[in-house]
Structure 1
Amino acid sequence: MIIVPEKEIAALITPEASFEAVEAVFAAMSRGDAYNFPVIREAIGHADALYGFKSGFDRAGLALGLKSGGYWPGNADKGLTNHQSTVFLFDADTGQPSAMVGGNLLTALRTAAASAVSIKHLSRPDSKVLGMVGAGHQSVFQMRAAVQQRGFEKVIGWNYHPEMLSRLEEEASALGLPFEAVTLDEMGAQADVIITITSSFDAILKADQIKDGTHLACMGTDTKGKQEVDAALIERATVFTDEIAQSTTIGEAQHAVIAGMNPAQITEIGKVINGDHKGRSSASEVTLFDGTGVGLQDLAVASKAVTLAQEAGVAIEVAV
C-alpha cells in the first residue's frame, strides 16, 4: 500500500491537474462509467463536529475508495484546518487497500476545480467581474481556480464578518486584480460570475438581486438544512449540478424541491462536458451550478496524487 502524507500534497498536485481530474470524472458520471455511493454525514456529539464518508467507483479509471472526514469548527483555535479528511483507495480487482492519501488540501483543490469547471462550461465568455460570497479558508482556492477560466478584470466580495474580506483582497492583489467590498445588492448588480462558499443555513442571495446573464457556483451547501440562495433563485435559474441525488437532498436544490420544484429540471454538468446538453442557451440566461461535492471527485484527485507521488519518489510503501 502507498501512503501519500498531507505534507507532500502541495508540491505534487496543481490546480490545473485537479481541474482535469474533476472535469473527467464529471464526464464519466454522466456517461454512466462512474457512480457515487450514498453519503454518510452525522453529528458525532463531540467537539461540535460533523463526520462522515463519501465513496464511489469509477469504472473508466478503476478508482475505488472513500474519503473519511468532516468538519471540526474548533480546529482554527488549535492552529488546524476545520475540514479534516483522508482518502483511502482500493484495488478494484482484488479489494485490497492500495493507497492512503492526505485529503485536506485535495478537498480544497477539488472543490475549487468543480466551480471552475462550471465557470468554463456555463458562464458567459465575456464575464469580467467575479463575485465572492464568503471569505473563509476555501475562498482563496475558489478565486485562484476561477480566474483561470475567464478574463476577469475585477473581484468583488461580501462576507458575514467584513473584517475577513482582507483575505479576498490580498488574494485578488496577488492575482493582479482590483478588489472591492460590496453589499449583497451591489454583488448581484455587478458580478457576472458569483461563487458562494459559506456554511450558511439561511439564504444569503435572493432571486431579485441577481442580474440577467449571471452564472452562480454555489459551493457551500453539502448538508441537509444548509442554504446559500433562496428557492426562488433556484427556480429562476437553469440549474446544473455534480449529482442530482445529492443536489435535491443535501445540496442547494433541496429547498426548491421542498417548495415544489421538479428534480427533472436539474441537469448533471457532465452532460454539458460530454456535449449532450448545450449548457447556457443565451447571454441573458441565469445559470447556477449546485456543487454538492461527490466522493468521485476525491478519488480522482487522490489517484492523481498517488501517480505524481510515485513519479516524484515521495510515495511511502508499506506492506498490507
Structure 2
Amino acid sequence: MRLLDGTAVRALLDPDALVEAVATALVDLSTGRACVPPRVAAQVGEIGLLAAMPAYSQTLDVVAAKLLTVYPGNAAVDRPTHQAVIAVFAPEDGTLRALMDGDQVTADRTAAASALSVRALARPDARVLAVLGTGPQAQAHARYVARVQPFEEIRIGGRDPHKVAALVDDLAGHGLAARGCAIDEALRDADVVCAATSTLRPLVGVDGLPDGAHVVSVGYVPEGREVDAALLTRAQLVVEHRATTLAPFPVGSNDLAELVERGKIHPDVVVELGEVLCGLRPGRAWEDQPTVYKSVGVGVLDAAAAAVVLAAAERKGVGHEPAPEGP
C-alpha cells in the first residue's frame, strides 16, 4: 500500500491527465458504467459533518472512497473548511492499494470538471473570467479554467482585500496574470463566472452578466446560495448527476432541489455534463441563453483523480509502505 501525503499528491496531479480522467468518469456516470451511491454524512452537532463517498468507474478501472469533513466555521479562524482522505482499492480483489491526502484532489477534480463545463458550454468568444472566492477551490478554478479558454482578463473577486491580493500573487507564481477587485466589479460583464464561496445569500444574478454567460457554482454550504433563483430558472442547468444534485442536503443542492419541489424547474430539463460530453444531450439551447453548471461533488471524480495520482506514483516510485512494528 502506498501512503501519499499532500505534498506528494500535489506533485503527482497532472492537470491535463486529470481533466481527461474526469471527462471519462463523467461519461461513465451518465452512461451507466459507474457506481456512485448517495453520499452519507454524520452530522457533528451544528458545527460540521463527516461524509463518506465511495465510487467505481468501469472505464478507469478504479474503486475508491473518500472521507470528507466540512466545517464552515473554520473559515473564520483560517483553517480549511474541507479536509479529506482517499482510499484506493484494487477492483479485482479489493486489496487496499493506496491511502492519500484528499484536500488537493477535492479542489483539483472539482476545478477539472468545471473546466470541462466551460469547454463544452461557454461561448467561444468568452474573454473575461471572474473567480469569486479566495480559498483552494478559487485558486484551482483559476488555474484549470484558464487552461481551456484563452481569456483576456481574469478577475479575482472577494470580500477580504488581503486574501484577494494573496491569491493574485499565488496565481502569478503559476504564470497567470489576474487582478483583484470587489465581487460586484468582478462580475460586471464577465463571460464566465466561477463561484467558489461559502456565501449564504446569492452573489450571481441576471443583472450585469452578458447574454450567453456561463456560470459555475461549486459552493457547498447547507443553507448557502451562490446563484439567484431568477438566473437558475432562466438558464440551461447542467450538473454532474441529476439524481444526486436534486436530492436533499447532504447529498444534493438545496437551491436546485427546492426549485424542483416548488415547480419552478422540471427535473427533465437538468442536463448531466457527461451527457453533453458524449453527445447524448445538447448543452446550450440557444446562443444567448445563460448556462449554469452546479457542482455538488460526486465520488467518481475523486476516484478518477486518485487513479491519476496512483498511476503517477507507481511510475515514479513515490509513496511507501509503513515499516513493520518491532517485536
1:254-276 CA-partner distances (Å, limit 9, x unpaired): 23223322111100010111011
Contact 2:164 2:180 survives alignment (8 Å) = no
Aligned twin of 1:282: 286
* Structure 2 residue identity aligned to 1:170: D
Segments of 4+ moved more than 4 angstroms: 73-80, 171-174
Comparing 233-242 with 282-291, greater Cα deviation is found at 282-291
Secondary structure of 1:264 counterpart: helix
Q: Name the CA distance, whole Å, in 1 between partners of 2:233 and 2:269.
A: 9
* Structure 2 residue identity aligned to 1:24: T
Comparing 81-90 with 68-77, greater Cα deviation is found at 68-77
* Structure 1 residue identity aligned to 2:308: K
- Deviation for aligned residue 1:72: 3.8
Aligned twin of 1:204: 203
Q: Sort the Cα spacing of 1:78 and 1:195 in 2 relative to 1 into closer, same or farther, 3 A.
A: closer
1:275-301 CA-partner distances (Å, limit 9, x unpaired): 112322433120111111110110111
Contact 1:173 1:179 survives alignment (8 Å) = no
Aligned twin of 1:15: 15
* Structure 2 residue identity aligned to 1:231: A
Comparing 224-233 with 37-46, greater Cα deviation is found at 37-46
| TM-score for the superposition, normalised by structure 1 | 0.90
Task: Find out whether 1:296 has 2:300 as its counterpart.
Answer: yes
Unmatched 5+ stretches in structure 1: none
- Deviation for aligned residue 1:136: 2.0
Q: Name the CA distance, whole Å, in 1 between partners of 2:96 and 2:142.
A: 35
| TM-score for the superposition, normalised by structure 2 | 0.88
Number of residue-to-residue matches in the alignment: 317
Aligned twin of 1:225: 223
Task: Find out whether 1:258 has 2:256 as its counterpart.
Answer: no
* Structure 2 residue identity aligned to 1:274: C
Q: Name the CA distance, whole Å, in 2 between partners of 1:304 and 1:28.
A: 16
Task: Find out whether 1:61 has 2:57 as its counterpart.
Answer: no
Secondary structure of 2:64 counterpart: strand
Q: Sort the Cα spacing of 1:126 and 1:84 in 2 relative to 1 into closer, same or farther, 3 A.
A: same
Contact 1:126 1:151 survives alignment (8 Å) = no
Contact 1:239 1:288 survives alignment (8 Å) = yes
* Structure 1 residue identity aligned to 2:224: K
Aligned twin of 1:234: 232
Q: Sort the Cα spacing of 1:169 and 1:58 in 2 relative to 1 into closer, same or farther, 3 A.
A: same
Secondary structure of 1:297 counterpart: helix
Unmatched 5+ stretches in structure 2: none
Contact 2:22 2:109 survives alignment (8 Å) = yes
Contact 2:216 2:292 survives alignment (8 Å) = yes
Q: Name the CA distance, whole Å, in 2 between partners of 1:172 and 1:129.
A: 16
Q: Name the CA distance, whole Å, in 1 between partners of 2:183 and 2:319.
A: 47
Aligned twin of 1:181: 181
- Deviation for aligned residue 1:306: 1.0
Q: Sort the Cα spacing of 1:319 and 1:272 in 2 relative to 1 into closer, same or farther, 3 A.
A: farther
Comparing 152-161 with 74-83, greater Cα deviation is found at 74-83
Q: Name the CA distance, whole Å, in 2 between partners of 1:319 and 1:56.
A: 29
Secondary structure of 2:246 counterpart: helix
Aligned twin of 2:136: 137
1:236-258 CA-partner distances (Å, limit 9, x unpaired): 10010101122223225223223
- Deviation for aligned residue 1:80: 5.4
Q: Name the CA distance, whole Å, in 1 between partners of 2:100 and 2:176.
A: 33
Q: Name the CA distance, whole Å, in 1 between partners of 2:163 and 2:49.
A: 24
Comparing 13-22 with 310-319, greater Cα deviation is found at 310-319
Q: Name the CA distance, whole Å, in 2 between partners of 1:319 and 1:243.
A: 41
CA RMSD of aligned residues (A): 2.4
Q: Name the CA distance, whole Å, in 2 between partners of 1:299 and 1:188.
A: 33
Task: Find out whether 1:104 has 2:103 as its counterpart.
Answer: yes
Q: Name the CA distance, whole Å, in 1 between partners of 2:312 and 2:261.
A: 44
* Structure 2 residue identity aligned to 1:125: P
Q: Name the CA distance, whole Å, in 2 between partners of 1:235 and 1:150.
A: 26
- Deviation for aligned residue 1:224: 3.8
1:106-143 CA-partner distances (Å, limit 9, x unpaired): 11111111111111111011110001121223211110
- Deviation for aligned residue 1:83: 2.1
Aligned twin of 1:94: 93
